[in-house]
Structure 1
Amino acid sequence: MNLEQLKYPIGHFQKLEAITANHITSWIATIAEFPQKIAALTKNLEEDALSKTYRPNGWTIRQLVHHCADSHMNAFIRFKLALTEEAPKIKPYFEDKWSELPDTRSAAITSSLKLIEGLHARWTTLLQSLHSEDLIREYIHPEHGKRFSLSETIGMYAWHCEHHLAHVQIALKN
């Protein structure tokens, strides 16, 4: 695999021109299944395995798990903001800097796995309750200078789940 394939093993997220109810259902299922999949991949990993990376200068498995907890917490909050405010401007965060903080570099992954499990249970409940008028609600991402609909965002985070599962699988093979 070349560096681009290692960085994006399932490819880049592709926004669909038309998002159907079937897409939404499938994406929500991916988000719902993520906690079990990441837990199964990382079950009983020793320190040396948690320190493996999926590419040169890439995040370790430990950092990937903590990143998913951080990222998905932010996503859940963005959904709640978009559902309760009119096109809110969200606060971006520096995921690269967060990945270097002591909790991300050295804490046991069990806390993030528990967080992901509980967070995804609530997030799935919220996502399954959305109606078509909710799915067109938007938030503004100042870093990208554009609006994101909740339907598109569900797809992005389903992709994000699969993207990082693939990273862990690659790291485990190294």
Structure 2
Amino acid sequence: MQTILCNNVVLCSILNHARKHISLFLINPYLSRKAKQMPNKARVAIKVFDVETSIAFYTKFLNFELVEFQPNAGIAYIRDSDHDLLLLTPPHLEDPRSLLDEPRIVFKPGDTLDFSVDTFETQHARLVEDGLSNMRVEENERGERKLLVTDPNGYHFVFVIPVKRSPEAMRAAYAGLSDEITAALDGLTEADLDLERTPNEWSIRQIIHHLALSTSLSLMPIETVLVNPGSVFVRPTYDQEKWVEVLDYKHRPIGTSLALIRAVQAHITQLLLHVPNSWDHSIVRKFTSEDEGHTTTLSDMIAIQIEHTTAHLDEIRQTRKIHHR
């Protein structure tokens, strides 16, 4: 399952590519938030069991817009509430990436797609009125509320209200992430690190290695926006699952990854103190030099790191609760 935590589906697939929980806030937490125009080609594909049934569900309950349905090919293009173009594909189309633009993210049934919203009370009331029963409201340890909707394919759409923080509060929240990770792991044995929330999801061990990767990858763009605001930053996409396999996330001890996370976060926290008044500074993120790119601010980057990390810590806590650890 993958997790994307973001204002839109594309915004979250690159940073938070957790197998069973993809927050569309995390593909790339910067991909669409500042987009200047609607994309002409989908960057994200969603594999569904039945395209027409999925179209009906997404347009009725999630207010997505049908852009094009190609019955002969069995595919459809829909636009989500943030104007991101999504490709719906049937099971027999094994690899739809040739139909996508970078970063070419493909979701599978069971994945979680997170959206950031200002409020979901109105949406929740409308869904109840429309007769949708497969949803629930949850609240985490920080008092943040989420509306969870499950579609006919088993995808989990999570609508979250992001916490609005001042620069000082955001810096403090970021600085405390390492301690939150330590607390989330407190008392676990080496064997406990291999526990999964559900079968085929990432284990606690794999989540920690993933956080080490995403934290380390955040360093260069953050330093770039501090030193050269307004510049272009190019970072090619990568095959998330290949990194997980080749770098042996499943078996490696987590000590070095924890040390890396703490060091990078301490370094960035120090930079935020020594380069003040930079929160609104921005860079243009690109996957290739030819890509149009999307603008993201320092505030965006730090907020995404906080959201990404805390989302995975929630997964670890849920895993511990399930296994009574």
**Same topology, TM > 0.5:** yes
In the other structure, the counterpart of 1:170 is: 318
In the other structure, the counterpart of 1:7 is: 21
Matched-pair contact (CA < 8 Å) for 2:279–2:297: no
In the other structure, the counterpart of 1:57 is: 200
**Separation of aligned partners in 1, 2:257 and 2:193:** 13
**Separation of aligned partners in 2, 1:128 and 1:55:** 40
Structure of larger gyration radius: 2
User: What CA deviation, in whole Å up to 9, does each residue of 1:115-164 have, x standing for no partner?
Assistant: 11111111111123343345322131428942222111111111012111
Identify which of 61, 66, 74 aligns with 2:209.
66
SS at match of 1:72: helix
In the other structure, the counterpart of 1:42 is: 185
Q: TM-score, normalised by structure 1?
A: 0.79
Going by fraction, where is strand more abundant, 1 or 2? 2
Contiguous gaps of at least 5 residues in structure 1 = none
User: What CA deviation, in whole Å up to 9, does each residue of 1:52-109 have, x standing for no partner?
Assistant: 1233321110000011111000001221123334122233333332222344221111
Identify which of 150, 164, 171 aligns with 1:28.
171
In the other structure, the counterpart of 1:128 is: 273
Q: Which has the higher contact order (CA 8 A, sep 6+)?
A: 1
Residue 45 (structure 1) shift? 2.1
Going by fraction, where is helix more abundant, 1 or 2? 1
Query: 1:102–1:132: structure 2 CA closer, same or farther, 3 Å change rule?
Result: closer
**Separation of aligned partners in 1, 2:220 and 2:196:** 29
In the other structure, the counterpart of 2:304 is: 156
Let me know the Cα RMSD of the aligned residues.
3.1
In the other structure, the counterpart of 2:145 is: none
SS at match of 1:46: coil
Report 1:95-134 matches (<5 A).
95-133=240-278
Matched-pair contact (CA < 8 Å) for 2:280–2:299: yes
Query: 1:97–1:31: structure 2 CA closer, same or farther, 3 Å change rule?
Result: farther
Report 1:133-144 matches (<5 A).
133=278, 135-142=280-287
**Separation of aligned partners in 2, 1:8 and 1:40:** 23
SS at match of 2:238: coil
Residue 112 (structure 1) shift? 1.0
Query: 1:46–1:133: structure 2 CA closer, same or farther, 3 Å change rule?
Result: closer
Residue 22 (structure 1) shift? 4.2
Matched-pair contact (CA < 8 Å) for 1:87–1:140: yes
Residue 15 (structure 1) shift? 8.0
Residue 170 (structure 1) shift? 1.0
**Separation of aligned partners in 1, 2:281 and 2:115:** 19
Matched-pair contact (CA < 8 Å) for 2:205–2:254: yes
